Amino acid sequence: MNQHNEFSFSTETKDTFLKQRSGSKAISYDSNGVIDSNNSGTAILLQNGHIVAWGDTDHGGELPPEIAQLNDIVSLSATYAAFAALRADRSVVAWGSAGYGGKIPPDIAQLNDIVSLSSTYAAFAALRADRSVVTWGSAGYGGELPPDITQLNDIVSLSSAYDSFIALRADRSIISWTSSYSYVPSDMAQLNDIVSLSINDNALAALRANRSVVAWGEGYSTYVPSKIAQLNDIVSLSANDDAFAALRANRSVVAWGRSDRKHIPSEIARLNDIVSLSSTNSAFSALRANRSVVAWGDLDNGGILPLDIAQLNDIVGLSATNSAFAALRADRSVVAWGKPSTGGFVPPEIAKLQDIVSVDSSGSAFTALRTNGKRVGWGGGDIKAHGEYD
Q: If you average pLDDT over residues 176-198, what whole number do you get?
A: 85
Q: Hey, where are the domains in the chain? A: 21-183, 202-263, 269-389
Rounded alpha-carbon distances, angstroms, from residue 16 to 56, 73, 117, 208: 31, 19, 12, 15
Domain at 269-389: CATH architecture: 7 Propeller (2.130)
Q: Please state the pTM of the whole predicted model.
A: 0.88
Tens digit of each residue's pLDDT (9 = 90 or more) over 73-91 = 999 999 999 999 999 999 9
Q: How far is CA 240 from the centre of its chain?
A: 12
Q: Do 269-389 and 21-183 have the same topology in CATH? A: yes
pLDDT exceeds cutoff 70 at 24: no
Given CATH 2.60.120.260, say whether it is the number of domain 21-183: no
Q: What is the pLDDT of residue 201?
A: 87
Tens digit of each residue's pLDDT (9 = 90 or more) over 270-290 = 999 999 999 999 999 999 999
Tens digit of each residue's pLDDT (9 = 90 or more) over 347-361 = 999 999 999 999 999
The pLDDT confidence band at residue 17, using thresholds 50, 70 and 90, is: very low
Q: What is the pLDDT of residue 264?
A: 96
Which amino acid belongs to residue 258?
Answer: R
Strand 283-288 to 293-297 pairing? antiparallel
pLDDT exceeds cutoff 60 at 20: no
- The answer to whether the CB of 126 falls within 8 A of the CB of 23 is no
